[in-house]
Chains A and B, each alone.
Chain A
Amino acid sequence: GQQVMQIPQYQHVQEGEDFTTYCNSSTTLSNIQWYKQRPGGHPVFLIQLVKSGEVKKQKRLTFQFGEAKKNSSLHITATQTTDVGTYFCAGSRTSGTYKYIFGTGTRLKVLA
């Protein structure tokens, strides 16, 4: 079945340092979404990428979808303590099926 892996599993950074998490799917994806889950909270949608090679930015966050539509990355520039949480990618294999498989997540801790 479809599997979505993320690396690293954990990342500790000093405030102000950059952070990147990588997402890899065993199958080609129709689109990919990214979510953030704060400790004790539920996943909150960040963005959706659809096109091969697509890059989107949200302030300090940069999201990229691979050319083969099997991998994606999230990069945070100059982390802040408010960035703490677990970041999940979620992929849909087939357009129009709406079944999203979540990745294993990357837990980010930011040291002030």
Chain B
Amino acid sequence: DTGVSQNPRHKITKRGQNVTFRCDPISEHNRLYWYRQTLGQGPEFLTYFQNEAQLEKSRLLSDRFSAERPKGSFSTLEIQRTEQGDSAMYLCASSAPPWIATNEKLFFGSGTQLSVL
């Protein structure tokens, strides 16, 4: 179990630029989640995938955000035309299918800290 891996760990960008983050889930985990967390707040749900299918996307998410999981393994989260309000920790999590795990435990990565200047 190598854990959920996220890259980069930190990203500093200028307002208006596009950024892309990558998440490698634990192998054999079929569900992958993206959350956003700001200081002092709980993780805010953004979207989740089951295999390569994006099953739900938060209505709070603007069209500037897009996520993909093309082969059902790693995932990318892209933010276009970044704004200062996008500054946050972006967390990825994965969970195992029911034939492997008895619960729906989310395993989180260490996150990507985005700072938009």
Contacts and interface: CB of A to CB of B under 8 A. Distances in A.
Interface of A: 1, 4, 6, 31, 33, 35, 41-45, 48, 88, 90, 92, 97-105, 107
B28 interface: no
Contacts of A92: 104
Interface residues on B, range: 20 to 34
Nearest to A5: B42
B116 to A, nearest CB: 21
B43 A43 contact: yes
B42 A100 contact: no
A38 B72 CA distance: 30
A73 to B, nearest CB: 17
B56 A97 contact: yes
Interface string B15-35: 000000000000000010101
A41 to B, nearest CB: 8
Given A35-B106, A88-B42, 11 more contacts: A31-B104, A33-B103, A33-B105, A41-B110, A42-B110, A43-B91, A48-B103, A48-B105, A99-B48, A104-B42, A105-B41
B45 to A, nearest CB: 6
A42 B109 contact: yes
A48 B105 CA distance: 8
Nearest to B109: A42
A4 B103 CA distance: 20
